[in-house]
Amino acid sequence: MALKVQLMPALRTEQKAEGKLIPRGKTGKRVKASELAEFIVRQGTTVRKPDILAVMENLGQAIRTLCSGGDSVTLPNLGIVTPQIGGVADKDGKWVDGPYTYLTMRFDSD
């Protein structure tokens, strides 16, 4: 199944005034961890579903811990998870807004 796309009015004022549209991906259902584990088993692995679920749980915790320490994490055949920080500081370096921490995902080109 391909990603469905919906065209929406542009967010930037000048683009909106020109009537330009931007794409937004429309996802299907949200796949739960147990469904993902079953899908992996159906692909032909020798690993059992409970083991896959345990690894997924540990993977999430490992990524959270490593990224909170400032490291990026490479996920084979998926991409790179990188910690980021946002907000605004004044000229003295005092936070006016934020700081906000979050993760970004740079997906493999495949």
CA 31 to each of CA 8, 25, 58: distance values in angstroms, whole numbers, following the listed order? 25, 16, 18
Residue 9 CA to residue 16 CA, distance in Å, equals 6
Mean pLDDT of 14-41: 91
Q: Residue 28 has what pLDDT? A: 83
Average pLDDT, the chain: 93
Residue 78 pLDDT level (bands cut at 50, 70, 90): very high
Read off the pLDDT of residues 80-104 as tens digits, 9 standing for 90 and up: 999 999 999 999 999 999 999 999 9
Residue 1 pLDDT level (bands cut at 50, 70, 90): low
Give kind and range of the element (H or E) at residue 58: helix 49-68
